Chain A
């Protein structure tokens, strides 16, 4: 993916992209055992240099403890498995962390309370914080939340479960500009061939073989991340959290 995507973009976008394929911080959030599995290693082939550029990224909204719980949750919602990388490699957790300081700011309190409740329930029901549970026990906790069996959640535990699930899907399948869908893992998973500003009749045939473009909308310089100054009180730019 790197050749095409790196072609004609501003420095900021390139830096973003390099971050997308960075391994170090993703690895930190994923259980070591999963990360070492063969399909993942194959799916995460990245340029060597890129892997080295990514030091630990600073969290923008969540605390370190909250982030590690969240990372463990998204890694079970869309797991890394025989079908390739999942929400962890897509950096859905990073997407959520950033968005909670922007477009999803109204959900910040729900995450604060919800992530704490997840760990409390994991401890009382399974004896350890969520991130330290086995994948099987983590799944059991998530199932309890989904089915409103989990206790200690302010609102129904299913509402926090559904919130995280929706945001994990956003973070896995969104435009990489927002910090998720890193390395286009989400789009590749479902076979979305990517953004094309013009599409030919042949590319809309039933059996068309359409190659993946691996481009963000904002790799196309015609699209502005600026909010139209007239429309916003702050007149600022669209940030990756917005």
Chain B
């Protein structure tokens, strides 16, 4: 990268540079800016606002936001199940998003805290069932801390973004209206949950018939006006759509504007970061980026990487130097290891004999069952660990509705098909089922030896497949979901196969957090074990997935790393 340095324009030094102003970088900027540090946020995308968020299924769902910068879509990782298997067909579009606010512009905004078990999978499994129950080949470790350490940061982020929900456990007091399996929280959510619908209430009633506990899930979407933003309008285009009334708590309308208001955060859009630089002592010194055809070097005391797992890993592996010949912070060979993606394949689709009226609403307007997640049930009689969160919601758009399964009853076209979709377009529902996924020694990320991005840099390569434990969890949880749909009156159900571990927005690991420098890239505060002044944010530091969406946990971790940096600034940069 020396050549790039010679040609690049050297910019004035800043305190902190954040690479990626999305879900997590956009949160971490705020505590830094409030502490008075000068922060430069380099974002590959642009600002997008309400007028860019038309309720347009073709543009949002089928064509992956052509109005946005397409960097992530030009760098989609390749995938092969294992080192001797053929490559999967490469995905052509992906919801990973380049914009100020990143994928939070159009995410579903489900904002879960992990359950206590997720932090202690190894010790709790060993204690309850014996060490032999940890799946063979898994590299899972306990997190370096438990839920109680992260609780204050979850709380902070829930209140800065605005999360709607119903607490199930406040300081140990269980509230049946919320998730009775969640760990203790200090206080109620900032807003009540999003409202129910006819369909979600029907499903909640069916869960109760089965003796299960149904509750509304948490969402970073306003159920009522919050911090000068409107409440949700339930218009039905939230799934991969931006919010035209700013009810969705995207970082683009919450933490980033708050940080900009401090005058300490400078947002640089359309900045395509290529590599991180280190000085002669192996300390991080800044980043190289391209903007408008020009090269820049942005010096900084501290660099925080805040992309998806794939791009965090790729950036490290591309940033080679004398001190780090195999990629930045990779002298122990841990960058790219302990990768896993959330197992959201193996869905269940149900057909009902009545219209469900799911044309409006949003994927966060739903009802959850957590009885079969994590270690919320006794696994003594089972041959797997973990489980899945059951979740159904009100969400339907016309192209998607017409693309429904015919449950093998009719051909896929012609008059019989047309009669089928005319009758059933509003009579089906699909549950995608988030499940425990573990890291394994032979599931990993590295650089693709062949496929390059438009600049000529290798894209990220995924080598990963679901193992026995994941397949057993999937089969178990699909059966539970079928029980639930049947109890609600479904007349037919269909199971999807588990699928592959190709690129996912629920991507974890690759720069795992832990005390042991031999098996983890970052320390328990999120800073590199090897490269001073390098922090890593995002789900790439998470060592377990839980059975629920990763974003709020990644954001709480990001806030915690940033707050630690601000409080220990002198120690860290000296």
Contact = CB atoms under 8 A, between A and B. Distances in A.
Interface of A: 76-79, 81-83, 86, 103, 139, 142, 146, 165, 169-170, 172-175, 177-178, 181, 186-187, 189-193, 195-199, 201, 203-208, 210, 217-218, 220, 222-228, 230-232, 238, 242
Contact of B361 (A174, A204, A228): A204
A218 to B, nearest CB: 7
B418 A189 contact: yes
B394 A174 contact: no
Contacts, number: 159
A186 B402 contact: yes
Interface pairs A-B: 7 shortest CB-CB: A206-B198, A190-B425, A223-B54, A230-B46, A204-B197, A198-B233, A173-B398
Nearest to A198: B233
A205 to B, nearest CB: 4
B422 A77 contact: no
Contacts of A207: 198, 357
Interface stretch (B144-152, B408-416, B503-511): B408-416
Interface string B131-154: 000000000000000000000000
A57 B46 CA distance: 37
Given A170-B58, A177-B56, A205 B46 contact: no
B560 interface: no
Contact of A173 (B53, B356, B399): B399
B55 interface: yes
Given A197-B244, A199-B233, A223-B53, A174 B399 contact: yes
A169 B421 CA distance: 11
Interface of B: 45-48, 50-59, 62-63, 66-69, 195, 197-199, 202, 233-236, 244, 269-270, 354-357, 359-361, 394, 397-399, 401-403, 412-415, 417-419, 421-422, 425-426
A82 B416 CA distance: 11
Contact of A204 (B48, B67, B360): B360
Contacts of A220: 54
Given A205-B198, A210-B359, A192 B413 contact: no
A208 B414 contact: no
Nearest to A196: B235
A204 B394 contact: yes
B416 to A, nearest CB: 10
Contact of B359 (A83, A178, A193): A193
23 contacts: A77-B414, A79-B414, A81-B418, A83-B422, A169-B403, A172-B402, A173-B398, A173-B402, A196-B236, A198-B234, A204-B394, A205-B197, A206-B355, A207-B198, A223-B53, A223-B244, A224-B51, A224-B54, A225-B54, A227-B66, A228-B52, A232-B67, A238-B66
Contacts of B421: 189-190
B358 to A, nearest CB: 9
Contact of A190 (B56, B59, B394, B398): B398
Contacts of A199: 233-236, 360-361
A145 to B, nearest CB: 11
Nearest to B50: A222
Contacts of A142: 413
The interface centre, meaning the residue of B46, B53, B58, B59 with most chain A CB atoms within 10 A of its CB, is B58
Given A198-B234, A201-B195, A227-B67, A191 B415 contact: no
A192 B401 contact: yes
B46 A228 contact: yes
Nearest to A218: B54
Contacts of B62: 170
Contacts of A172: 402
